[in-house]
Structure 1
Amino acid sequence: LPPGPPCLRLQVLGCCLATAQAARSWLTGRACGYLAAWALPQFLLITQGDLQLLKMEMDKLVLLVHGTFPEPGDVSPPLPLTVMSHQELQLCQHIRSMATSIQLFSGDVLKMFSTGCKRMSAQIFHQTMPRGKHWRISLRPELPSCPSAYAAAAAQAVLGQVLQGARLLPRDAQASAMARGTTAFLEAWMEHILEHRIRFR
């Protein structure tokens, strides 16, 4: 953001803000759409890949804006103070607000992911997990030697999707996604067992 005529500075700031707004709108729309459609690989890729890149670029932009257009009250701006018009001041504030909004959304996406995993897991357990006499050992000719069909189906529908998406992420993001998905899955399972008072005996 080099110094220049006020009209040029307004154009540059306006373009920066419009680009950030468009990128955030596109990312949030896609993320929510993928989660609603239970397309976890795409959801994880866009929220742990594209969104993180946008967040880093917005951080850089905010630093540039702050360096060129210090906020009123800054004691020692890093560059010679540029006299700002009211419009420039507003655009700078909007850019900072947009960066904050992207930061907040970036922090919320994994909570959305956990909630989605838990909701889907609970729905599958409600529809497929046997109850009552099915679990009484005394009524079984022998102990089971393989996982229950409901458990395999639930794991594939939820954890299989999580694993598929996590493979596309950096290693540190893989661990976070798998941990949250697995925790949500197990919480839904335990809550279903407690709600329906299923006993394994």
Structure 2
Amino acid sequence: SPSASPGGLCLRLQVLGRCLAAAAAAHAWLTGRAGRYLAAWALPQFLLLTQGDLQVWRAEGRGGDLGPGFTPPAPLQVLKAETEQLVLQVSGTFPELENTDRDTPAEPPPVSPWELQLCRQIHGAANNIQLFSGDVLRMFSTSCKRLSAEIFDQTMPLGRHWRLGPRAELPSTPSAYAAAAVQAVLGQVLQGAQALPRDAQAPTLARVTTAFLEAWMDHILTRRIKFR
């Protein structure tokens, strides 16, 4: 077989090494760019990069010709597709590597341990890219919850403010601290999400809204605020 000779093994290792480098570089680019956008609180760019994979290629017009309704793919969508293609090519070129994941193989695999390790690392890097949207959305919601908690800790009144006695009717306007908190967190996220397709906006807004409300409730319980 090609891997039996030192020259064949060296060539296979070079190919697998370059495939791994490509997948790892793509993942590093995604995480690095997303981290810079989030650190700068550049939410339109951050959300478009990390959640824009739900975009689809649409062609509105006769015969499927690309027209004004065409939506170009987001960078994450492109990287996902390219990585999937890379994994398929690796699997097609080295099919024997796909049958070496069993705990107790019936016979020793016909590949070197270096090839096996590289193949597993390629699959791991590709899997990280596929899961990137969900992972980074959880990280983003955690950041929003932390920011919300800081805002409530600094601005939400305590104690006597809430002991104003019975009122004839409910207030017609929100409290100033609540309006400011909503604008500082949810308002900015909502504005940033406008760059996303509608299908991608709902999961992002739902996750961030939940984090915001959890931070609010945690603050009320921690400070033992009573409304009466």
Q: TM-score range by the shorter chain?
A: 0.7 to 0.9
Gaps of 5+ in 1: 76-82
Aligned to 1:166: 193
Q: Is the 8 Å Cα contact of residues 50 and 132 (structure 2) preserved in structure 1?
A: no
Q: Which amino acid aligns with 1:48?
A: Q
What root-mean-square deviation, in Å, do the aligned CA atoms of Structure 1 and Structure 2 show? Answer: 3.0
Q: Is the 8 Å Cα contact of residues 37 and 46 (structure 2) preserved in structure 1?
A: yes
Aligned to 2:174: 147
Work out which of the residue numbers 39, 56, 67 in structure 1 matches 2:81. 56
Aligned to 2:124: 97
Distance 1:90 1:195, change over 3 A: closer
Q: Which amino acid aligns with 1:20?
A: A
Q: Report the 3-state secondary structure (helix = DSSP H, G, I; strand = E; otherwise coil) of the residue aligned with 1:138.
A: coil
- C-alpha distance in 1, partners of 2:195/2:12? 40
In the TM superposition, residue 15 of structure 1 has moved relative to its aligned partner by: 3.8
Q: Deviations over 1:31-90 (max 9, x none)?
A: 223333333322211111233432232122211211121134649xxxxxxx97776555
- C-alpha distance in 1, partners of 2:15/2:98? 23
Distance 1:11 1:170, change over 3 A: farther
- The TM-score normalised by the length of structure 1 is 0.78
Question: Percentage identity across aligned positions?
Answer: 71
Work out which of the residue numbers 23, 27, 30 in structure 1 matches 2:30. 27
- The TM-score normalised by the length of structure 2 is 0.70
Gaps of 5+ in 2: 1-6, 53-74, 101-109
- C-alpha distance in 1, partners of 2:213/2:113? 54
Q: Is the 8 Å Cα contact of residues 167 and 174 (structure 1) preserved in structure 2?
A: yes
Identify, as 1 or 2, the structure richer in helix: 1
Aligned to 1:157: 184
